[in-house]
Amino acid sequence: MLEKLKISVFKANLDLVSNGLVIQTWGNASGRDLKSGLIVIKPSGLAYESMKPGDMVVVDPEGKIVEGRFKPSTDTPTHLLLYKTYRTLGGVVHTHSSYATSWAQAGKGIPPLGTTHSDYYYGEVPCTRLLTEDEIENDYEINTGKIIVETLGATDPLMLTSVLVNCHGPFCWGTSAENAACNAVALEEIARMAFYTVLLGKSEPINKSLLDKHFKRKHGNNAYYGQDNSK
């Protein structure tokens, strides 16, 4: 079942490795079949080198295994909480990529310092608050999803596709597993650029008109970047 989606999720997981975002078994990508609502996710702790599309695990929105011989990623409850909250999401990715995670470990959002950032994000990539002792002890993975939702607030998740979880790392999403992986790759590069820009002594945000120009030409109703596929 969902063979196409399994291939897409498998590819997204490998994209994270080939782009240097994931070493060992640190990351995970999932995708949702918008028709059935079922989620396909990477198995827990399986080595990427030997992983095959058929190893991906199919779970229902509550996390019950529908198909698969492996246990799903331990972060599955976080993915499910995000899917449950945001109906438009088709893919979720989590990594411990070095630069984005460094900002997360510092408890700092990534400031919008240039146009590369503004092409993807309309302002800061926010960092969550720390989880409380109780939130860590009980339902840790679900609570991780909840603080991401809390941090996004009323923002449309497809207009802000990444959040840094404090002391942990980035969660990214998108319209598909591969799109979410693409966003995670962009986030890591933006985090790297911001790190060096701050190191060079500049931390004030890009001016509003440049931010507006770069974000709005790629996102929203008046976007004009790329090819017009409507014709």
| Residues with catalytic roles | 119, 225
Residue 47: beta bridge partners? none
Query: What 3-state DSSP class applies to 153?
Result: coil
Look-up of token digits 């929203």: 220
Q: 115: how many CB neighbours lie within 10 A of its CB? A: 13
Q: ∠190-127-160 over CA atoms, to 5°? A: 60
Confirm if 218 and 161 have CB atoms less than 8 A apart.
no
The phi, psi pair for 65, rounded to 5°, reads -70, 125
- DSSP-assigned beta bridge partners for residue 163: 171
CA nearest to 92, candidates 199, 190, 8: 8
